[in-house]
Structure 1
Amino acid sequence: MVSSSIIRQTPRQVGGGRERAALVRQAKKSITRGSKSFSLASKLFDRATRERVWLLYAWCRRCDDIADGQDHGASILKLDDATTKQRVLAIRILTERALQGQPTAELAFDAFNQVSAECRLTQEEANDVIEGFALDAQGWRPRTEEDLMRYCFHVAGAVGVMMAKVMGVSGEDHETLDRACDLGLAFQLVNIARDVSDDDAAGRCYIPLEWQAEADLPPGMRLRPEYREQLVALVARMLDIAEQHEAAARFGANGLRFRQRWAVLSAAGIYGAIGRKVRAAGPHAWDHRIHTSAWSKLGFVARGFVDAIRGAPEPEVWPKHTRGSLMTAARMAGPPAPMPMTPLPDEA
């Protein structure tokens, strides 16, 4: 046994001891490979903001990949419950180490160490995101609309809040953080609407059970041809909510600096277009994965420039679900599971 008085603690190291430039290079590769839409929008930021966005994205992408056993979003694996829970536990431990300023031996988590130190990201904010992976690990499915929106808060709304802080928004500027959350919620609802077929193949469904019951849509039958009409109506309902949150986010972007506003509105335009294409495709929306072309993305960047100059009007209808109500629901659901911190070999 070694006396506790002589155990060597690993000193705090920003970026896990890696050079910031190396972290930025790898983070840029991650966003370029993982999301063409976000990669394009990120280029509209000033250099400092752009690099921080890449660093945060790298952490989000790596967490998602660890949780689902995938590589940059490709081919979600059907993992057993025990394996999935262990993966989420690994995400928690690595993230806590990063926030404590400890090296993780995982580049994306060291990138999170770097950006969290620069932008004062908190453990609570990180936990809000990780809880989305934990819900999937539990095989959780939304029963109500409120459940759906709480899930969207964890996996995207909370990311929007962190992105706003990366852009320099103060943690006390709750109005702007609320609107950033709205943008994340809109993006996730569009993702869910587009990915009904992919989620079904992975054994997942995020359409609330109450909605399905109201539409006389039997569980597990949503993609059957005879039930496509009901599915189309439910997805349209989801996209209606997404558009309300998008409108709120656009209005909130008025308070950002010009280049930030331009980037946010360009991304909103790209994702909004995906939602509209899903709606327009009706029962054929899931015959193949809907996306926007490179030329279309450039068109939305140009339109985003004009929108950033003009500014967005206040929404006629504000979303029912707010960041405050969703955070309250998340807290009432209980804190994340405790993280046993086993010292790594270099700490003994």
Structure 2
Amino acid sequence: MTGELDAAGIKEPRLREAYARCRQLNAEHGKTYFLATRMLAPAQRPAVHALYGFARFADDVVDVPPAGATPADVAASLEQVAQALGHGLDDGRSQDPIIAAVVDCAGRFGIGRDLFDDFLTSMRMDLTVERYPTRADLYRYTRGSAEVIGLQVLPVLGTVTSRAEAAPAAAALGLAFQLTNFLRDVAEDYERGRVYLPLDELAAHGVDDELIGWCVANRRTEPRMTEALRAQIAATRAVYAQARPGIAMLSPISRPCVRTAYVLYSEILDRIEAAGHDVFSRRAHVHGFRKATVAGAALAKGIVARRLYRGSPAGAR
């Protein structure tokens, strides 16, 4: 971590500690993302850790509240996070380590406040919205919970086109990753009282809340649920197809990282299919050997790219 912070020009001791805390969160909770981050140039990694760390921090406020916390308590805690971030962005610093790192990152890479506002809007939705009648309703949520993550990371990765040209694909990739999570975590989300699949599309296959509950309770799928999940996987693959051209728009030193995340996360859909669409008795994941194979090849390409483009800024445009 020291070498990464040195490469990024982060010198102030408390700020270095803040970035180190974000890196720890990424390593503990975002294993696929963390693995992909290792493909980046050292100077890029702290910023990605900071963005992930803040997103995880805010998400945990909503999803992992202290024992005995009421919905009003959780809402108040989330507003404290929002206010602390706002003050931090105004002042350019914060006493909270997670916010201090993300504020510094936003300043270094010109990440707009509107992206953080959209993110926090979606976090607030999680406090009150438990079902999404249509895909349009779901996408109003994922705008802040997924698409803006891709847009926040884009200036860190750098582009060979204008940032505006690369933005739609970056947003689509963030969306594809989250839709994949929704499919993998149907049971876990249901047990938290939420369904992140469009209800009208489920209903087209005869799936309602009662049937999802039955699948969760019995830890197995059912033919109507299987058909609904098959359709959701097809819709998610279409989003990955929208995102794929964006990889070539990135700085060459960033492409191996994003391609690794793209491949490994999209293969979770393959694992769901291979398990007969049973997302109720097991959690689909890509096995370690496959991760090592993909990451090893990407790491080699990343090293070559960094040597070829040594001295080139991450964000060319």
Is TM more than 0.5 here?
yes
Give the structure 2 partner of residue 82 of structure 1.
Answer: 72
Counterpart contact for 1:27–1:58, Cα < 8 Å: yes
Give the structure 2 partner of residue 233 of structure 1.
Answer: 227
- The 1:20/1:306 distance shift into structure 2, 3 A limit, reads closer
Query: Match for 2:137 among 131, 139, 147?
Result: 147
Greater share of helix: 2
Counterpart contact for 1:194–1:285, Cα < 8 Å: yes
Query: Match for 1:65 among 57, 60, 64?
Result: 60
Task: Name the CA distance, whole Å, in 2 between partners of 1:34 and 1:192.
Answer: 16
Task: Name the CA distance, whole Å, in 2 between partners of 1:25 and 1:235.
Answer: 39
SS in 2 for 1:44: coil
Shift of 1:18: 5.7
- The letter for the 1-side match of 2:81 is I
Counterpart contact for 2:221–2:278, Cα < 8 Å: no
Task: Name the CA distance, whole Å, in 2 between partners of 1:170 and 1:153.
Answer: 25
Give the structure 1 partner of residue 105 of structure 2.
Answer: 115
Task: Name the CA distance, whole Å, in 2 between partners of 1:170 and 1:28.
Answer: 27
Query: Match for 1:299 among 271, 278, 293?
Result: 293
Query: Match for 1:48 among 19, 38, 43?
Result: 43
Give the structure 1 partner of residue 5 of structure 2.
Answer: none
RMSD: 2.6
- The letter for the 2-side match of 1:246 is Y
Give the structure 1 partner of residue 196 of structure 2.
Answer: 206
Counterpart contact for 1:77–1:202, Cα < 8 Å: no
SS in 2 for 1:45: coil
Task: Name the CA distance, whole Å, in 2 between partners of 1:19 and 1:270.
Answer: 34
Identify unmatched segments of 5+ residues in structure 2: 1-9, 303-317
Counterpart contact for 1:55–1:112, Cα < 8 Å: yes
Alignment of 1:1-348 (within 5 A): 19-69=14-64, 80-101=70-91, 103-169=93-159, 173-225=163-215, 228-302=222-296, 304=298
Task: Name the CA distance, whole Å, in 1 between partners of 2:68 and 2:238.
Answer: 34
SS in 2 for 1:132: helix
More moved, 227-236 vs 248-257: 227-236
Q: List, as ranges, runs of 4+ consecutive aligned residues in structure 1 with deviation greater than 6 Å.
A: 305-308
Task: Name the CA distance, whole Å, in 2 between partners of 1:103 and 1:259.
Answer: 29
Counterpart contact for 1:78–1:202, Cα < 8 Å: no
Shift of 1:96: 0.6
**What TM-score do you get using the length of structure 2 for normalisation?**
0.83
More moved, 258-267 vs 211-220: 211-220
Counterpart contact for 1:67–1:88, Cα < 8 Å: yes
Identify unmatched segments of 5+ residues in structure 1: 1-14, 71-75, 309-348
Counterpart contact for 2:133–2:199, Cα < 8 Å: yes
Counterpart contact for 2:26–2:52, Cα < 8 Å: yes
- The letter for the 2-side match of 1:193 is L
- The 1:170/1:58 distance shift into structure 2, 3 A limit, reads farther
Task: Name the CA distance, whole Å, in 2 between partners of 1:77 and 1:174.
Answer: 44
- The 1:307/1:249 distance shift into structure 2, 3 A limit, reads farther
Shift of 1:240: 1.4
SS in 2 for 1:184: helix
Counterpart contact for 2:132–2:197, Cα < 8 Å: yes
Q: What's the % identity of the aligned pairs?
A: 22
Task: Name the CA distance, whole Å, in 1 between partners of 2:241 and 2:143.
Answer: 17
CA offsets 1:257-278 (integer angstroms, 9 cap, x no match): 2221110000011101111111
Shift of 1:307: 9.4
More moved, 223-232 vs 31-40: 223-232
Counterpart contact for 1:68–1:77, Cα < 8 Å: no
More moved, 116-125 vs 288-297: 288-297
- The 1:297/1:58 distance shift into structure 2, 3 A limit, reads same
